[in-house]
Amino acid sequence: MNIFIRKTEDRSKPNRRDFLLRTGCASMGITSLVNTISQFKLVGSAAAQSAGDDYKALVCVFLNGGCDSNNMLIPAGGASAARADYQSARGVIGIPDAQFDYTPAANNGYFDGSSNNNTSAVSTRIAPLNGSASGSQYDPANRSNYTQNNFALHPGAYPLKGLFDSEDLAFIANIGTLVGTQQITRANFNTLPASTKPPQLFSHSDQQVQWQSSLPDKPFSQGWGGRIAEIVAGMNSGDLGVSVSIAGANSFQIGVTEQPYFMNTSGSVSSLTGFSGGSPSTAYGSALRNTALNPNYLGGATPANKYNPLASITGLTGGDPLSGTNYQNTSAGWRLRALEQILAASHDSLFDETYVNVPRSARNTEGLVGNALAQTAAPNPTLDQHWTNWFPPGFGVTDLGNQLRIVARMIAGRSVLSNKRQIFFVQIGGWDTHVSQIPNPTAQNQGYYNLMNNLSRSIRAFADCMKAIGMWDKVMMFTASDFNRTFTPNRSDATGGSDHAWGGTSLIAGGEVKGGRIYGRFPDLTVNGGIDCTGNRGRWIPSTSVDQKGALIGKWFGLTDAQVTQVFPNFTRFQPDLSGSTLTARNLDVIDFSV
């Protein structure tokens, strides 16, 4: 019922051992952190009493394998020192300045409001609104106006340029995992104790876990999405948990009592077999009178959206003995009634009770999810059109696009779920570009270009859909990745790629994001100097921590300042609070919290 689909195998993705380790650690993570979070759940329940119809959703887009974000947000123009550093060090994996202005290929056009495959000339050059803001660009005394506020997005990211220009999307520069007990510089990197630096800095599996837990100095027990879910769970009244993954196992959503529900990209939900029927055929159509209702296994008063499996029959002779129940007087109805009465029974044995909770939860959840998805079943022009717009004929909707379409359908069908808070996880792999990162600099369907094109179209289709249904202000979408990649290539020919590095650029988008800006501090691109942590490959020491970005997202999601520091216990190592003055001083005033 709860479908768990593994994505295409990638050595940078979690395997079975990783999944067992993560879920096992989560179930045994009974620490002071977990106990305190349990207390905060009471606060979340209280908040639900005054939340009204408030709904918010987080959407984590994980770029699995380590995205080379040096080629996501790029210094442009020929006059700045940053562009000169870029050109001298990127080599065969660099993007020539002329490619930021180009004409799309015949099957790679963009939606212009009417045509979904416009191939007129476009440009990915941007001018951030906060170019002169403190900290928005790297300005040491001897390198004033380093970037000259002249940037471009990767040529494949043209759909994101539209979101940036409309102030719906922003970038956070040079972000990464940090411990925060001591400032790290190039000069002290090799001599600092290991405890002051994230362990296994350039390891896929370790950095994925640390990004998704925000606690590099502690053994993994929960993801920061899971810790947030523990707090806000009391705001939800539905049977579906806070967290939903469309991309299989992940550390981000692991909690103690809150675990993710796994879905696939087809939107299909497995129900109990042998009970389908009706016209058209629906799950439980041959067994239930009202298939939109779910069973109430908890006893007590039965809510309006459920039915009582223990409802008594009206008589044994004549008429319809099941007329007072939700079961049809059919063989399927009697069989389903018998099964659900067993599930509704309580058990003296804790083991038996825990065991039966699994099918109870699965039965209720698949019913809820199925009903939510039914609100937007194909054909649904209002929703599907946005994917048609951004994935023209010949391009085809990608796996990431389909993942985000399922998220959009779940948000559109939120009223069925009775949840006020939802956390979604999607991912796209392939970013481990050690070889042939740009096999052909002019190709628009190969290597890194194809990855960025896919990412950008998927995000834009999702954003347009949320705007169309009036939910963009209720959504916060953000990217995360293992790490950035080396600024210098590992080869000098077309087979060249990049290797594992550290701090990089991530994006954040939503109706309440103060978009059109670059936040944090754009890195000094000096190889073998500046903030290159060691050697001469260009591995940037982050200037902003994962905790700082997560704290902003958590506050927007409804956490109090005290709850933010509970979810991110290392947060105050990087900044004292989330006050407006502090955020402005650090160029992290990313979200409009007044809305």
Instruction: Say which amino acid occupies 218.
Output: K
Helix (H) or strand (E) holding 306: strand 306-307
Contacts of 404 (CB under 8 A, 6+ apart): 59, 61, 426, 458, 459, 461, 462
Q: Which 8-state DSSP code applies to residue 377?
A: P
Closest-CA residue to 514 (of 427, 404, 588): 588
Neighbours of 351 (CB within 10 A): 8
pLDDT at res. 41: 41
Token pair recorded at residue 577:
């609070």
Whole-angstrom distance, CA of residue 402 vs CA of residue 405:
5
DSSP 394: T
pLDDT for res 143:
66
Residue 261's DSSP bridge partners are 244
Query: Most distant CA pair in the chain: distance in Å?
Result: 95
* Angle, helices 350-374/331-344, rounded to nearest 10 degrees: 130
Neighbours of 86 (CB within 10 A): 20
What are the φ/ψ torsions at residue 267 (nearest 5 degrees)?
A: 80, 5
Q: Which of 61, 70, 16, 17 is nearest to 433 (CA)?
A: 70
**Bridge partners of residue 422, in order along the sequence:** 57
| Cβ atoms of 70 and 502 closer than 8 Å | no
Pairing of strands 294-295, 518-520: unpaired
Residue 423 forms beta bridges with which residues?
A: 58, 243
Angle between helices 158-165 and 447-468 (to 10 degrees): 40
Peptide bond preceding 280 in cis form (omega within 30 of 0): yes
Omega of the bond leading into 309 within 30 degrees of 0 (cis) = no
CA 142 to CA 31: how far, in whole Å? 48
d(CA 363, CA 72): 43
CA angle 560, 563, 565 (to 5 degrees): 115
Q: Return the domain boundaries, the chain.
A: 16-76+85-268+422-585
Residue ranges of E strands in 437-580: 475-481, 504-509, 518-520, 544-545
**From first to last of its 595 residues, what are the pLDDT tens digits of the chain?**
443 333 334 444 555 444 444 444 443 333 344 444 444 443 443 333 334 469 999 999 999 999 999 999 999 998 899 999 999 999 999 999 999 999 998 888 999 999 899 999 999 999 999 986 534 455 555 567 899 999 999 999 999 999 999 999 999 999 999 999 999 999 999 999 999 999 999 999 999 999 999 999 999 999 999 999 999 999 998 889 999 999 999 999 999 989 899 998 887 777 888 999 887 778 899 999 999 899 999 888 998 889 999 998 876 667 899 998 999 999 999 999 999 999 999 888 888 888 888 888 888 888 889 889 988 987 888 899 999 999 988 788 999 999 999 999 999 999 989 999 999 999 999 999 999 998 765 666 789 999 999 999 999 999 999 999 999 999 999 999 999 999 999 999 989 999 999 999 999 999 999 999 999 999 999 999 999 999 999 999 999 999 999 999 999 999 999 999 999 999 999 999 999 999 999 999 999 998 6
| Alpha carbon distance 345, 587 (integer Å) | 56
Closest CA to 505 of 105, 30, 75, 115: 75
pLDDT of residue 111: 96
Q: Tokens 């080396």 map to which residue? A: 486
Q: What does 201-238 look like in DSSP terms, one character per residue?
A: TT-HHHHHHHHHHS-TTS-----HHHHHHHHHGGG--S
CA–CA gap between residue 259 and residue 257 (Å, rounded): 6
pLDDT score for 314: 73
**Which pair of tokens denotes residue 115?**
């045509």
Q: What is the pLDDT of residue 326?
A: 96
Retrieve residue 338's tokens: 């018998």
Query: What is the pTM for the complete model shown?
Result: 0.88
577 contact partners, CB below 8 Å, separation of at least 6: 561
Burial class of residue 209, CB neighbours in 10 A (0-12, 13-18, 19+): buried
